[in-house]
Copies of this chain bind each other. A is one copy, B any other.
């Protein structure tokens, strides 16, 4: 079983899935493959090229666009597919962002994905200009993620300890909101913070706004 770029990337993705992106180092990959560190450099120019390969391995897993339906459904389904992929690889959104920023062009798989998404907007009746604004408006949500400021307010336990009084006094609005999220059973979302619901809420808010603009144009 000779060393190959594919085997190196598979090992790197596995290391990242298990221990986060900080667990990915040339030395650890080589160790996992039973190989001397410098052997990797025959298949990968440097660590940046390795990270680019990891990005493309992930982005390539996103479902192809649906056919025979309207632009909004197609975009929506594709983004939700991207989100599912990214949820399986929590380290990937950060790496995608970093590598896209560092390169002059995004990686090939990201380019293919963007090309396809732009095409869906254009075929759906968006002008080039409105498509351009749409991409900026969707931002990172296009690729299935958007960094959340409060990550895991949803607790597994049923009663995750009330906020301490000095916190409630200093941050009354944050406290009110957290109490509503974690306690009120009759809330729109239900107990806990439903990330999937929130993601779709924001996504639909943007898509509906864009549809309104497209029809007005």
- By a beta-carbon cutoff of 8 Å, the part of chain A in contact with chain B is 94, 97-98, 100-101, 106, 110-111, 114-115, 118-119, 122, 128-129, 131-133, 135-137, 139-143, 146-151, 170-174, 176-177, 180-181, 187-189, 193, 198-199, 201-202, 205-206, 208-210, 213
Contacts and interface: CB of A to CB of B under 8 A. Distances in A.
A128 B208 contact: no
A162 to B, nearest CB: 15
Contact of A149 (B135, B146, B209): B135
Number of copies: 2
Given A101-B151, A115-B171, A209-B206, A177 B132 contact: yes
A180 B130 CA distance: 11
A148 B188 CA distance: 31
- A contacts with B: majority SS: helix
Contacts of A119: 172-173
Contact of A174 (B114, B151, B201): B114
Contact of A106 (B118, B135, B142, B149): B149
B149 A142 contact: yes
A87 to B, nearest CB: 15
B177 A100 contact: no
